[in-house]
Amino acid sequence: MTVTLDRLQRLAYRIDDVNNSAGHAEPDSVVPTLPINLQSGSGDPGVCCDHSGKMGGSQAWTSRYTLIMNISTLVTPMVRQTLSADVYSQLRELLISGRMMPGEKLSLRTIAEALGVSVMPVREAVHRLVAEQALEMSANRYIRVPVLTVSQFREITSIRLNLEGQAAGQAASLASPQALVQIEAIHEEFCSEFAQSVPDESRLIALNKQLHFAIYDQADMPILLRIIESLWLRIGPILNYDLRSGNERVVQRVQASHHSALVEALKKRNPGAASHSLQNDIRTAADFILETGVLVVADTVRPASTD
């Protein structure tokens, strides 16, 4: 962190205010302190100076003020952390729910303006998502939603079939009566939207994600839930392509029929049927996406069983 003279002055004033309010006249009387050394190459390495070895003015200032070496000087201010976490959560939700499309380009400034924040918390949030491979950052610093290869998509789908099938089966055994009522209500909203002459794609996508995770949450397996979330973070942008495309699956309400079978199995407390219905939902959507050719064929693709 670059520390300027102005920043150090403001910190010193805050230290004076805290100590004076506690009945102390000098900051030295609270905890041991470290004098600020503005000479180049000496003192606290976190304090920066200009090329002359001075920091913008008289060094007489350093004889009066000191820095308290406590946790408040080492951590990021909470407001900034809260903003960064909030930006991260909102971008993450857009990715998981499939509201961003593969290959879509973003900019830090555009995101910041949309959320009404500065670029700094957006940059921090984006770097977290890049580390999780949910976003890509090119050499010229533009941000892009990754485009999966066919083999990557097949691999993630295979993992989803196993993990999400397990979560659905577990939920059938453990879901509370109140949770089952909530799950059925989400499903009814999903079917009601499907029944519209022109369904709202964004609403269908949001309800689809809401239904799946309401079920997975009832498995009472928090580690498994986090793994599933990480998979959706990678696959979310392409996952709901069939809901966006207006294809025959949408016309025939294939997704709604799979959900109906899943909800019915949950109500009957049938883990095997719940797992099977959930896997059918995943498999048929994956097959459709593979058939459309929207994925990148970047490597040799062998036919892979999703059983």
DSSP structure string for 191-210: HHHHTSSS--HHHHHHHHHH
End-to-end CA distance of the chain: 51
Q: Are residues 249 and 264 in the same domain?
A: yes
DSSP-assigned letter for residue 77: P
Q: Are residues 192 and 259 in the same domain?
A: yes
pLDDT digits (tens, 9 = 90+) for 164-213: 999 999 999 999 999 999 999 999 999 999 888 888 888 888 899 999 99
**Burial category of 6 from C-beta neighbours within 10 Å (exposed 0-12, middle 13-18, buried 19 and up):** exposed
Counting the structural domains of the chain, the total is 3
Tokens of residue 146, six digits: 């990754």
Tokens of residue 198, six digits: 């022109």
For residue 129, give the CATH number of its domain. Answer: 1.10.10.10
Q: Are residues 64 and 167 in the same domain?
A: no
Residue 72: CB atoms within 10 Å: 12
Q: Are residues 166 and 113 in the same domain?
A: no
Given 144, 175, 200, which residue is the final one in a domain? 144
Domain boundaries, position 58 = 5-73
pTM tops 0.75: no
Q: Is residue 306 part of a domain?
A: no
Assess contact for 106 and 144: CB atoms under 8 A.
yes
Is pLDDT at 241 greater than 70 in this prediction?
A: yes
Q: Are residues 45 and 94 in the same domain?
A: no
Q: Rounded to whole angstroms, how far apart are CA atoms 106 and 129? A: 13
pLDDT digits (tens, 9 = 90+) for 12-64: 444 444 444 444 444 444 444 444 444 444 444 444 444 444 444 444 444 44
